[in-house]
Amino acid sequence: EPEVTQTPSHQVTQMGQEVILRCVPISNHLYFYWYRQILGQKVEFLVSFYNNEISEKSEIFDDQFSVERPDGSNFTLKIRSTKLEDSAMYFCASSKSQETQYFGPGTRLLVL
Amino acid sequence: AQSVTQPDIHITVSEGASLELRCNYSYGATPYLFWYVQSPGQGLQLLLKYFSGDTLVQGIKGFEAEFKRSQSSFNLRKPSVHWSDAAEYFCAGGNTGTASKLTFGTGTRLQVTL
């Protein structure tokens, strides 16, 4: 069964550094999403992406964040200058239609 | 504002006992509703979903959920819990007809005693 994959599974970075989190959505899916879950808190929406542009973004998704679909398979989330409060589990999700979103296993980001 | 509420932060049940996890939603129109499960250190696995039609939906691992418009609820049930069901359960909602974000509840942590 097709799955959403994410790399790396864990990343440790220094405050102020740039990080790129990578996702490979399910191959015939058209809608892509990033969410994050700070430890002990609920899952929060960051951004949705369709037809090579952002469909919707949350207040969390400020100028430090960007998303890109550089080729036909990858979907990336870039954080330009990481802050301590960016430490979280980041989930990628994809959907074929405007309905069910399938989540990847997540990337645990730790900013020191 | 759209919201999903899970009133129970933590529930403990004995193996073999029945389970009901509560979820309430607040949306302008009937949303799409989902239950996801997250095992420790793992991602979010879809258990079941409700879009329209039959208000009792069946999911994987023997779970079911019932949509009740009058109560704005979408409670998750399982007749007999197994120790492997111990995990965190998230209810989520999304607007119909759009590729919209999911709004998650705060989650319910299920502990199963043997």
From A100's Cα to the closest Cα of chain B, the distance in A is 8
Cβ contacts of A40 within 8 Å, gap of 6 or more: none
Nearest residue of B to residue A94 by CA position? Answer: B99
Contact B74, B50 (CB under 8 A): yes
Give the mean model confidence (pLDDT) for residues B55-69: 95
Q: With beta carbons under 8 A apart, name residues in chain B contacting A31.
A: 99
Residue that wins the pLDDT comparison between B29 and A88: A88
pLDDT of residue B97: 64
- Determine phi and psi for B103, rounding to 5 degrees: -105, 120
Q: Is A91 on the interface with B (CB under 8 A)?
A: yes
Show the tokens assigned to A57. 């973004």
pLDDT band at B94 (very low <50, low <70, confident <90, very high): confident
From A45's Cα to the closest Cα of chain B, the distance in A is 6
Q: With beta carbons under 8 A apart, name residues in chain B contacting A43.
A: 44, 90, 92, 102, 104
Q: Is the pLDDT of residue A73 over 90?
A: no
Contact A106 B34 (CB under 8 A): no
